[in-house]
Amino acid sequence: MRDTFLKIYDYYGKALWGFAMLAGGLTFAIMLVICANALTRKLLNWPLPAALEITQALLVGAIMLPFAFTLLKREHVSTVFLTSRLSVGARRWLHLMWAVLGFLLFAAVTYGTYHYALRSYRMNEQIWGATIQFAVWPAKMAVSLGTLLITLQFLLDAVGFTLIRNFRAEDDQNPELHGNV
CA torsion sign, 153 to 1 to 168 to 100? positive
Which pTM does this prediction carry?
0.85
Hey, how many other C-beta atoms are within 10 angstroms of the C-beta on 153? 24
Q: pLDDT truncated to tens, each residue of the chain (181 aa)?
A: 888 999 999 999 999 999 999 999 999 999 999 999 999 999 999 988 888 889 999 999 999 999 999 988 887 656 666 677 778 788 889 889 999 999 999 999 999 999 999 999 999 998 876 678 888 999 999 999 999 999 999 999 999 999 988 887 666 555 554 555 4
Contact status, residue 54 vs residue 32, Cβ threshold 8 Å: no
Domain ranges of the chain: 2-178
Report the C-alpha gap between 91 and 78 in whole angstroms: 13
